[in-house]
Structure 1
Amino acid sequence: MSAIGPATWTTHIDGELVEIPATIDTIRTALPEEQLAAFDAEVGSASADQLQLVLASWALSLTSAGEEDDAVIARLREMTSRQQHQMGASL
């Protein structure tokens, strides 16, 4: 019989496949000490239908996914600003 390792999620970050923890215990273990109280409070108050989203958010916080998201949002804002400027110039 083969041993089953801890549950993980896989996602792509910066074009690379990354495994992130996918249980309350493994996410909690991976977090810095100063984030544990906030994690426990959010997980403890999450409704059952929101728990997976809360856990995914915390698991992703352990990666550079937020930085990648910030870069995408900055590019989208810049494009929107340019388009609004062009539309205003043509009126």
Structure 2
Amino acid sequence: MTTTTWGTYVDGERVELPATIDDIRAALPAERRPDFDRAVGAAAPADLHLLLGHWALETRPDIRARDEATYARLEAGDFTGFTAAEDLTE
């Protein structure tokens, strides 16, 4: 059986996230599953991929916490280690 995953990067390291409805649901804490089921059930087809990406990240609270800390730091005006998209060279 092949497992479908999404990949993202945290501190330069690739992290695999579940990418199917069943796998995301299974990876969530039991108390979050009813919220997930409601969100998936109400999702418009065109938005389903965005919704699943959101919930895939919810399976990794450590990544969410790190992102929230980064946002708070940026909002406070600390741009250490931040590169704006327009400053990227490729």
Which structure would you say has the larger Rg?
A: 1
Could you say which residue in structure 1 is the equivalent of 2:88?
none
The aligned amino acid for 1:68 is R
What is the TM-score of this pair, normalised by structure 2? 0.77
Counterpart check, 1:39 vs 2:70: no
The aligned amino acid for 1:28 is R
Counterpart check, 1:65 vs 2:63: yes
Question: Which structure ranks higher in relative contact order (CA pairs < 8 Å, sequence separation ≥ 6)?
Answer: 1
Deviation at 1:53? Answer: 0.8
List runs of 5+ in structure 2 lacking aligned partners.
Answer: 79-90
Q: In 2, are the aligned partners of 1:20 and 1:60 still within 8 Å (CA)?
A: yes
- Distance in 2, matches of 1:50 and 1:38, equals 16
- Distance in 2, matches of 1:20 and 1:10, equals 6
Counterpart check, 1:23 vs 2:20: yes
Identity %: 45
Q: Across the two proteins, how many residue pairs are aligned to each other?
A: 77
What is the TM-score of this pair, normalised by structure 1? 0.77
The aligned amino acid for 2:51 is V
Q: What secondary structure, in the 3-state scheme, does the structure 1 residue paired with 2:38 have?
A: helix
